[in-house]
Amino acid sequence: MSRSLQGRAALVTGGGRGIGRAIALRLGELGASVAVNYRQDAAAANEVVEHIKAAGGQAVAIQGDVADVAAPEALVKATTEAFGKIDILVNNAGIIRDGLLVRMSDEDWEAVVQTNLRGAFLCTRAALRPMLRQRWGRIVNITSVSGIMGNAGQANYAAAKAGLIGLTKATAREAAGRNVTVNAVAPGFVTTELTVGLPDKVKEAILNQIPVGRFGEPDDVAAAVAYLVSDAAAYVTGHVLAVDGGLAM
C-alpha cells in the first residue's frame, strides 16, 4: 500500500473501536503517525496502537473525553508532544442516546450535543491554531446521514450531526487561505457494535432503503477519510461526502 501520508501526524478521536478504529488503522497503513484517542476502553485503543506499530508505524493511545472542556486542548498537546506536530484531525468520537423527542430527557439531549458537536468544536479549535501556523492541515468531521435526512428517535443525534455539517462549512471558509481543508464524511448504516444488535426486522427495513442492498463496513468510511486527508483532495473543502450506499440521495 502507498505510504502517501508518510511524515504526517494524525489525531483520531474515538479511535479505539468501530469506525474510528478503521480510520486509525488506515491512516497508519498510509504512513501517518496516529494518536488514538479513547474515553474508557484502553485495551481497545492499545490494540490499535500495537497493530500500527507491528506494521512499522508510529502510534500512541491518549485517554480523554471530548465532552470534557479541558480534554481537547490536552489531546492536541499530547499528539504534538508525541509526534512534533499535528497535521490531521478526525473528529469521530460520538455517542447515542436514542428516544422519541417528547420523552427525551434534558440529560440525553445535552450528553449527545456535548460529545458529538461541542467536542468536535473544541478539538477543531485546538488543532486549527497549529495547522494555520504551519499552513497545512486536514480536518475531517464524521457526521451522519441522520444529520442530512433526520431519523425518528434521534432528534439529539440528528441535530448534533447537522450542526457538525455547519461547523465543517464555516471552518472550511475560515481556514482555506492557509491550506487547511475541512470536510465531513456522512456514513449511513455501518456494521459496528451500535448496529449489530438491531432486531432482524429493523435491519430488513433499513436494507430495503439502501440502493446497494447492504450495510456499510467501517473500512468504507476509512477509505473516504483517507482520500480527504490526502494531497489528492487538496482542492476539496467544505464538502460532505455521504458513504451510505445511496440511502440519502
Grid cell digits, residue 81: 508532544
Q: Tell the residue number behind the cell numbers 430495503, with chain if given.
A: 208
**Residues labelled as active-site residues:** 157
Beta bridge partners of 168: none
Which residue, chain included where needed, has cell 498510509? Answer: 30
Query: Which of 218, 191, 221 has its CA nearest to residue 206?
Result: 191
Contact 231, 6 (CB under 8 A): no
- Measured distance CA(213)–CA(168) in Å, rounded: 29
With a CB cutoff of 8 Å and minimum separation 6, the contacts of 243 are 185, 186, 187, 188, 216, 220, 221, 224
Cβ–Cβ contacts within 10 Å for residue 105, how many? 11
